[in-house]
Structure 1
Amino acid sequence: MAEYKQIHKVEVEKKPFKLTKKMIALLVIAIVLVVGVITAYIVTADKDGYTSSVKDGSTEVISGDVSVTKKGLYEYLLDNYGANEVLNEAYNKITAKEITDQDAIDAKVKEQKNRYAEYSGSFETYAKNQGYSDAKAFEKEVVVPEAKSELLEEKYLDTEFNDVCKKYNVSYLKIVEYSKESDALKALKTVTSADAMTALMNANSSSSTDLGFVCSKSSTTTVDKKIIKALSKFTSLKTDGVYKEAVKLSTGKYAVVYVYNTDKSAQKSDITENLQNLTDVKTDIESYYLKKYKFTVEDEKVKKQIKKISSKYVD
């Protein structure tokens, strides 16, 4: 894996420009990747809050009963879009550096376009519904970055697969619930094989669940929090089988837990797909790459906004 140099902070000459949403990120921090070197550009300090500023800030862009200055509009845009634009700008530069297989990008873009077309009848209609008069512009500005981001997630999960499985305590589980611990323990002793667990579930169909993929980031609305808390115990099993104890659930009931698909490598595709669907995992991956590329923000106000999105993105 390539090594990259530390970000350098360089002051930028302030020039007149058109205030657009896209320019916000460039005013606050622009990530530029050149021959493996990342440079972060910042502008001079503004004592009123934001580090960055706009030329002729006191000039009115709206006048009359309501007066709005360039500075007021600029800071309104930063307040509402700044943090997300900074993150998007930085991460898009990172994905462009990490993902260079054009065939893979094209295939993923096609997949994304087909997915969007299913929502609105056609890709063009979907783009229009998102406020784009030109579908090609929507593809370039939204779909391509999304495709590269998804490919980067896949790259990370493929490279770090074993560590990821351990980090998130990836498991595949089947459970049968009982009101009394004694009944659960009695049933547990009968589970000597996968077929025996199937028979037990069939005999108790109303209280049996094949949870399938479960990890530490799984939602407690679909998986009992006591099951999630005990995942590290289940992952200690090296072969498929029943967990040695009845697990007390948050409902007060007791569960017989059967662990299967313990050979994680055989389930790599399914595990990767499931992890990619979890917001917390996406955030962890983004945080990993932002730190790898020494992402930093000199504007304290914008930094605080980014930390509200996720404290993992910046130190």
Structure 2
Amino acid sequence: MKKTPILFVCAALMLTGCSGATATISDKDKTIMTIGNTTYTKGDEYDLLKISTGTDLTMELVKQSIYKKEVKVTKSMKKKAQKQIDNYKENMSDFNDQIKSLGYNSTDAYMNKVLIPSLQASELTEKYFTDAKKDIQKKYKPSKARIIQCENKATAKKALKALKNGTDPEEVAKQYMVDSAKYSGKETLVTTKTTDVSTRLINTLYKTKKAGVIDEVFTNESSGTTYAYVAVLVTNSYKDIKDEVYTSLSSDDDITKASLVYYLKKYNFEVHDQDVFNNLKTNNPEYLVSRPDLSESKD
């Protein structure tokens, strides 16, 4: 399928010039206010807004463009937004005045400009976990396992032997886990974001082909103490654990950025304004997907 490019739009003008171009407005010399002998024009106002909030507003426009392509506004979404409005009105007597102070002349405007895009953003993130499943698997290596945290290797070896003999992991944990163990034989989602357990254990669970006892003792230091772990793989099939992976990772800032980058790449996002380009280069080079070298150099 042919990709449709999303280009940076500023003041409703599409820039088609070469690198180094700077967006402006056609009636920039039109006076909007005066004080004493000083005159301020639309161009002055535009330049000020562009410097202070131009890049943030640009990215909001881009996100809205992606939402329109990827996440349809459904009846269910509208109902959720209306429920939020009703809740605000019930708990805030001055709700209408507050949204007007923010520049929204009606609850419908606030719903369409704020609440629904927020719901679309949430649904886009959830969609990302399906669209970019290979990327997520590669980076986060998710699996579900039953892990037992033991005081030392000797105890862990006894626990491993019991597991291999077919004893239920929770029963094994009751006998061999360390006091106040974080991992006590219950099913738990494991990803590269999981703390305490070793990277080797995470990798082993992810790469293991068949569910069952992992025939190895793993060690890892936690809070200055070295513990030993044994594990039983429940599943590392992404389709079986995708919902749990989403629940676990969706609020992570890295996921939020990665999701946006994924769709910026999909639609060939380009920036044709030098000021905005420079701002993104400094603060979010990963969004300049046509220049991956900039993100790599920052890393």
TM over 0.5: yes
Flag the 1:201–1:70 CA change in 2: closer, same or farther, 3 A: farther
How far apart, CA to CA, are the structure 2 residues paired with 1:227 and 1:117?
48
- SS at 1:272's partner residue? helix
How far apart, CA to CA, are the structure 2 residues paired with 1:312 and 1:207?
39
Matched, 1:80 2:23: no
How far apart, CA to CA, are the structure 1 residues paired with 2:165 and 2:88?
44
The corresponding residue for 1:213 is 189
**TM-score using structure 1 length:** 0.69
Cα deviation digits, residues 239-283 of structure 1 (max 9, x gap): 143462322135342231424343432333333333433221222
How many matched pairs? 277
Which stretches in structure 1 are left out of the alignment for 5+ residues? 10-24, 31-40
How far apart, CA to CA, are the structure 1 residues paired with 2:16 and 2:5?
19
Measure how far apart 1:296 and its partner are: 0.8
The corresponding residue for 1:171 is 143
How far apart, CA to CA, are the structure 2 residues paired with 1:133 and 1:7?
30
- SS at 2:111's partner residue? helix
The corresponding residue for 1:199 is 171
Residues 184, 256 of structure 1: 8 Å contact kept: yes
Residues 172, 262 of structure 1: 8 Å contact kept: yes
Amino acid in structure 2 at the alignment position of 1:247: T
The corresponding residue for 1:42 is 15
Cα deviation digits, residues 122-170 of structure 1 (max 9, x gap): 6997776563452211111112222333333333322443553344211
Flag the 1:113–1:262 CA change in 2: closer, same or farther, 3 A: farther
The corresponding residue for 1:17 is none
Matched, 1:188 2:160: yes
How far apart, CA to CA, are the structure 1 residues paired with 2:165 and 2:281?
48
How far apart, CA to CA, are the structure 2 residues paired with 1:4 and 1:121?
45
Amino acid in structure 1 at the alignment position of 2:163: V
How far apart, CA to CA, are the structure 1 residues paired with 2:93 and 2:48?
31
* Higher RCO, 1 vs 2 (CA within 8 Å, ≥6 residues apart): 2
The corresponding residue for 1:106 is 75
How far apart, CA to CA, are the structure 2 residues paired with 1:125 and 1:188?
63
The corresponding residue for 1:247 is 219
Flag the 1:119–1:56 CA change in 2: closer, same or farther, 3 A: closer
- SS at 2:189's partner residue? strand
- SS at 1:253's partner residue? strand
**TM-score using structure 2 length:** 0.72
The corresponding residue for 1:22 is none
Residues 33, 41 of structure 2: 8 Å contact kept: yes
Which stretches in structure 2 are left out of the alignment for 5+ residues? 292-299
Flag the 1:56–1:78 CA change in 2: closer, same or farther, 3 A: closer
Percent identity of paired positions between Structure 1 and Structure 2: 21
Residues 152, 228 of structure 2: 8 Å contact kept: no
Cα deviation digits, residues 207-250 of structure 1 (max 9, x gap): 2335833323x3x7xx23x5457522221123143462322135
The corresponding residue for 2:273 is 299
Amino acid in structure 1 at the alignment position of 2:24: S
Residues 151, 227 of structure 2: 8 Å contact kept: yes
Q: Decide which of 41, 48, 67 is 1:95's aligned counterpart.
A: 67
Of 164-173 and 116-125, more deviation after overlay is shown by 116-125
The corresponding residue for 2:264 is 290
